[in-house]
Structure 1
Amino acid sequence: MYALAAHSNRTSNGAGHLTAGGTAMSEANPMVIIVDDDVSIRESLQPALELAGWTVKSFESATAFLESEAPEGPSCLLLDVSLPDLSGLDLQARIADRRAEMPIIFMTGYGDVPMTVRAMKAGAAEFLTKPLDEEILFAAVERAIAQSRIAVRERAAMRAIKARYASLSRREREVLRLIVAGRLNKQVGGDLGISEITVKAHRGRVMEKMKAGSFADLVKMSAKLRLEE
């Protein structure tokens, strides 16, 4: 079986394909990971994807993939439904939390509606049938990488917010929680037993440490940290 169905409108060098999802790879080089026990699939997909500009890793089993190190930058997973050790759907469930920034494109030679519905409900980006049409596959990979790029940025932003919050003193955290809840400086002082001037000083340090350009920014960050709870 050939992994890719030839498409007459594509050039052999991938012309017209924006490198790794439409950027000049200004971020970490996007990675496409293939998990398929069919060596012919892996050997045909990998060079085609690399020629298009992506970094590619391939694995013959779910176990080998699970033992590998997760990529830092944007990525997507080309996953065969039928694997010898763990089905693609079971692997999808296994990595749902651990690799949430890695969209999954399922590949199968015998997909059915219930299987497709289950995969899509669990968050699959695409469900493709073999042999794979190159144009359809590459378009699916581009969409998945774009989705992953957004998720990776959001993850990095969240890590930064958590690090800033961790730098706050106990009192500064108390002040932050109260002011984003809508309490006035005078009310915060009454709640904490400190002067309004002291509250203002803490508030200024909180804004500085959290790198908030405005009070609205501070509220948004606190919402992400769920401080209102």
Structure 2
Amino acid sequence: MAEAANIPEPNAVFRQIVHIVEDDEQFRLSLLDLFQSLNMDAQGFEGPSDFFDTASKTNAGCLLLDVRLPGINGIEFQKELEMRGYDLPVVFMTAHGDVAMSVNAMKAGAVDFLEKPLQTAELIDAIKAAFTLDVGQQQERAHRMEIRRRAASLTRRETQVLGFVARGLMNKQIAFELGISEIMVKLHRGSMMRKMEATSLADLVRQFEQLS
């Protein structure tokens, strides 16, 4: 590997980890040593089963993934990650890359596709890009969780009103649908808006869309 590049800034909100999935033990250990020397958190995994047995779905960071793994290729593993609920940006690496494989990897959402032997500057740039993407994903995930927390605080009637309001129904129409007075609809609607911390109807609709 070439000389080290600039070290990524530590993330102030999430502890970001480089999850290395590489079946070549010597190369995996060399990567762990590199990231340790750069004061970056990293964990090594021999393969997909090792990763799924050990890695937490709540971990932040990225996945540094060999595209050719025993029994499964990296792109198939990437799809399985998504199915299992992992949301880590992926940087692929390979000693046998070709154009078609790299195109497929990028179409599948990979941040970058690096060929071995890895150049340290290129590797760190890819990790920095993945970490930046991860910050946005973590913040979006936290926002969705907050919206679900707000929605869980609603009463059954307020939840019904939320659904009708998000569909664009007027208070009079909602009252007819629920078989209650328009005054009661206004009371439920006001309470629902406060609990959802909605600043406007448009904001409420955006939050409702996050619940689906």
Which residue pairs with 1:40 in the alignment?
26
* Offset, 1:174: 1.6
**8 Å Cα contact 1:27-1:73 kept in structure 2:** no
Task: Assess, with a 3 A threshold, how the Cα gap between structure 1 residues 193 and 127 changes in structure 2: closer, same or farther.
Answer: same
**8 Å Cα contact 2:35-2:42 kept in structure 1:** yes
Is 1:59 aligned to residue 78 of structure 2? no
Is 1:6 aligned to residue 2 of structure 2? yes
* Aligned counterpart for 2:7 among listed residues 10, 17, 22: 17
* Aligned counterpart for 1:220 among listed residues 188, 192, 206: 206
Where 1:32 maps in the other structure, the secondary structure is strand
**8 Å Cα contact 2:150-2:196 kept in structure 1:** yes
* Aligned counterpart for 1:86 among listed residues 59, 69, 72: 72
Which residue pairs with 1:108 in the alignment?
94
* Aligned counterpart for 1:178 among listed residues 164, 170, 185: 164
* Aligned counterpart for 1:200 among listed residues 177, 181, 186: 186
More helix by share: 2
* Aligned counterpart for 2:133 among listed residues 130, 138, 147: 147
Where 2:109 maps in the other structure, the secondary structure is coil
Where 1:31 maps in the other structure, the secondary structure is strand
Structure 1 unaligned blocks of 5 or more: none
* Offset, 1:29: 1.1
Which residue pairs with 1:210 in the alignment?
196
Where 2:20 maps in the other structure, the secondary structure is strand
Which stretches of structure 1, 4 residues or longer, exceed 4 Å deviation after superposition?
Answer: none
Q: Deviations over 1:100-137 (max 9, x none)?
A: 42011111111012221222222111110001011110
Where 2:140 maps in the other structure, the secondary structure is helix
Alignment of 1:68-83 (within 5 A): 68-83=54-69
* Offset, 1:99: 4.4
**8 Å Cα contact 2:14-2:135 kept in structure 1:** no
**8 Å Cα contact 2:151-2:196 kept in structure 1:** yes
* Offset, 1:50: 2.5
Structure 2 unaligned blocks of 5 or more: none
Is 1:29 aligned to residue 15 of structure 2? yes
Q: Deviations over 1:139-171 (max 9, x none)?
A: 000100111111111112112212222222221
- Whichever residue aligns with residue 96 of structure 1, its letter is E
Count of aligned pairs: 212
Q: Deviations over 1:35-54 (max 9, x none)?
A: 11112211221122223232
Q: Deviations over 1:170-229 (max 9, x none)?
A: 211221122222222222222222112111110111012212223222111112224xxx
**8 Å Cα contact 2:57-2:86 kept in structure 1:** no
Q: Distance in 2 between matches of 1:111 and 1:18?
A: 26
| Percent identity of paired positions between Structure 1 and Structure 2 | 40
**8 Å Cα contact 1:161-1:221 kept in structure 2:** yes
- Whichever residue aligns with residue 110 of structure 2, its letter is A
- Whichever residue aligns with residue 46 of structure 1, its letter is L
* Aligned counterpart for 1:169 among listed residues 130, 143, 155: 155
